[in-house]
């Protein structure tokens, strides 16, 4: 990918300009990178590594992975991408609910660290809520923090009631983020979850911000309002979706891109400034929720 230093710097400046703040005061760029399905096809691995590395150079520092992704394959690809730049990244991984108790959390974490070739995570998430009592998971997360194996912990796929319950248990207030599905075609969390999290100063990490594949994506990408607003900014519909997802300053989006050209487009989305008129047009096409909706989950 041929980019001049000047172009790289200009894009990075835009990326760094849009941030979210964690409850501990850590400031992160609102655009990061996902890794689901990386490593699934070995013939694509070199491209995926280069894509993650370009993203890092462009300031997309937050890299999201999980022990679940390809049974650790995505973590191994991530390790290769970060071989010479671990410290520049803000590395996130996730523990499966079945491993999130006293018996297995530490060994799951250590296995992730070993696959990721690092001795700490910046953030460790409970992938979704399972059978282990939340109190037990929080205690284990805090132990990992005390040992320096993780800097902070959070959750994923938690709805408003789960977040409330978490906040009421001992240590639960240390939760740094909640990672949830969010894009223009799936706005349910705007009804009560995002407002609740905003009150607690807990940012959301938006997964599937590009609506992945399938019918829904087609509906979004062929929608006349989406096309009109994208065209008015001279960007692609997917770049528009990304810019929309980070518009509040309370959401950090983690699009997955296994190709450098996609990473470059995604990073450039940080430079799109949506106007009140654009937002109104998009709201009319995809209205914000007027009542509580069940949490959307992949
Ligand atoms: P996304 O919405 O990020 O979409 C990814 C798809 O979009 C890929 O096929 C990718 O293709 C393509 N793409 C990326 N950039 C562009 C572009 N600029 N133009 C055209 N196509 C593009 O879906 P994900 O499901 O991957 O979600 C993002 C991340 O969120 C995951 O990778 C994972 O880290 C996390 N996640 C978390 C979940 C949870 O339960 N906590 C659940 C699901 C995801 P290509 O790779 O070819 O570039």
Per-residue pLDDT of 54-81, as tens digits, reads 999 999 999 999 999 999 999 999 999 9
Do the domain assignments include residue 164? yes
151 located within any domain: yes
180 lies in some domain = yes
Residue 135 CA, ligand 1 centroid: distance in Å: 31
In a domain? residue 260: yes
φ, ψ of residue 63 to 5 degrees: the values are -115, 120
C-beta of 185 in contact with ligand 1 (< 6 A): no
> Does 44 sit in the ligand 1 pocket, CB within 6 Å?
no
Backbone conformation region of residue 142, classed left if phi is above 0, alpha if psi is from -120 to 50, else beta: alpha
Domain presence at residue 173 = yes
Whether residue 79 lies inside any domain: the answer is: yes
Q: Is the Cβ atom of 209 under 6 angstroms away from ligand 1?
A: yes
Q: What is the pTM of this model?
A: 0.98
If one counts the domains in the chain, the total is 1
Range of the domain at 260: 5-18+28-285
For residue 51, the CA-to-ligand 1 centroid distance in Å is 13
Binding site membership of 214 for ligand 1 (Cβ less than 6 Å): no
Nearest CA to ligand 1 atom 24: 208
For the chain, 298 residues long, give each residue's pLDDT as a single digit of tens. Answer: 789 999 999 999 999 999 999 999 999 999 999 999 999 999 999 999 999 999 999 999 999 999 999 999 999 999 999 999 999 999 999 999 999 999 999 999 999 999 999 999 999 999 999 999 999 999 999 999 999 999 999 999 999 999 999 999 999 999 999 999 999 999 999 999 999 999 999 999 999 999 987 778 889 999 999 999 999 999 999 999 999 999 999 999 999 999 999 999 999 999 999 999 999 999 999 999 999 999 999 9
Residue closest by Cα to atom 23 of ligand 1: 208
Closest atom, ligand 1, to C-alpha of 94: 41
CATH at 125: 3.20.20.100
Nearest C-alpha neighbor of 179 from the set 144, 145, 154, 150:
154
Say how many Å lie between the CA of residue 133 and the centre of ligand 1. Answer: 30
Question: How many Cβ atoms sit within 10 Å of the Cβ of residue 101?
Answer: 18
In 3D space, the residue among 95, 97, 123, 125 whose CA is nearest the CA of residue 109 turns out to be 95
Q: Tell whether 297 is covered by a domain.
A: no
239/172 Cα distance (integer angstroms): 35
36 CA distance to ligand 1 middle (Å): 7
Note whether residue 171 is domain-resident: yes
β pairing state of 27-29 and 19-21: antiparallel
């Amino acid at each position: 990918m041929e980019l001049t230093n000047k172009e790289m710097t200009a894009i990075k400046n835009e990326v760094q300009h849009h941030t979210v703040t964690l409850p501990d005061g850590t400031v992160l760029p609102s655009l990061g990178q996902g890794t689901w399905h990386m490593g699934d096809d070995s013939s694509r691995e070199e491209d995926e590594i280069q894509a993650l590395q370009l993203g890092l150079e462009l300031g997309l520092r937050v890299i999201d992975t999980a022990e679940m992704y390809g049974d650790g394959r995505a973590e191994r690809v991530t390790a290769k991408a970060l071989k010479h730049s671990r410290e520049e990244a803000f590395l996130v991984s996730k523990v499966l609910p079945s491993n999130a108790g006293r018996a297995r959390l530490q060994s799951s974490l250590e296995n992730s660290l070993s696959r990721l070739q690092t001795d700490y995570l910046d953030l460790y998430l409970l992938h979704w809520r399972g059978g282990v009592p939340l109190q037990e998971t929080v205690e284990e997360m805090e132990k990992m923090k005390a040992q320096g194996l993780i800097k902070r912990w959070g959750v994923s796929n938690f709805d408003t009631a789960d977040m409330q319950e978490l906040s009421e248990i001992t240590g639960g207030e240390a939760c740094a983020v909640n990672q949830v599905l969010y894009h223009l075609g799936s706005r349910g969390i705007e009804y009560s979850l995002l407002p609740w999290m905003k009150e607690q100063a807990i940012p959301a990490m938006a997964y599937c911000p590009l609506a992945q594949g399938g019918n829904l994506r087609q509906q979004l990408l062929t929608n006349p309002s989406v096309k009109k607003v994208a065209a008015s900014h001279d960007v692609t519909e997917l770049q528009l979706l990304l810019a929309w997802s980070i518009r509040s300053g309370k959401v950090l989006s983690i699009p997955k891109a296994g190709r450098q050209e996609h990473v470059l487009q995604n990073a450039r989305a940080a430079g799109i400034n949506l106007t009140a008129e654009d937002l109104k047009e998009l709201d009319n096409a995809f209205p914000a929720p007027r009542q509580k909706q069940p949490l959307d989950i992949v």
